Amino acid sequence: MLKIVKTSLILATATLGFSVPAQAQDVSEALANICTIIKADDKGELRKKMRTVQSDYNMKLRDYYSGISCNGNSLIRTAMLSDAVETGTLLVKKMPKSELANPEQDGKTLSAWISENDLSASPIATVLNERI
């Protein structure tokens, strides 16, 4: 009896070990063209992509936002640099307020980065300032 329990535990652990990396690869494939969608300012397609990732992988924007970089910039920064107002506004509204005020990968907050790059006239910056 004890042998069966041990064998079952080993098989369960081995199965779990193989399924987690496969899911991570699937998520990255699902999010592969998100930078292109943001640059094209396709709000409908971005909504669809976010909905798909949430339903298929139970992940919200805050779960994968920091892991995605478009030419070294975050998703909101990419939207601002591409003048993609619709997608940038959607991203700002979907992110939790606390996450918007946190420093990004380079250690700068979005507000500091906007001031530094003289993008305070952007409509996305206006929405961001209202949310923070």
User: What pLDDT digit, counting tens, does each position of 54-113 carry?
Assistant: 888 888 888 888 888 888 888 999 999 999 999 999 999 998 888 888 888 888 888 888
Instruction: Go through 71-98 and write b for each residue having 16 or more CB atoms within 10 A of its CB, e for each that does not.
Output: eebbbbbbbbbbebbbbbbbbbeebeee
Q: What is the per-residue pLDDT for 23?
A: 52
7, with CB counted inside 10 A (0-12, 13-18, 19+), is: exposed
Q: Indicate the Cα dihedral angle 6, 10, 16, 19, nearest 10°.
A: -140
Q: What is the per-residue pLDDT for 18?
A: 46
Name the pTM for this structure.
0.74
Q: What is the pLDDT of residues 26-59, one digit of tens each?
A: 666 767 788 889 999 999 999 998 898 888 888 8
Q: What is the pLDDT of residues 13-29, one digit of tens each?
A: 544 444 444 455 566 67
Token pair of 130 as six digits: 């209202």
Token pair of 29 as six digits: 């494939």
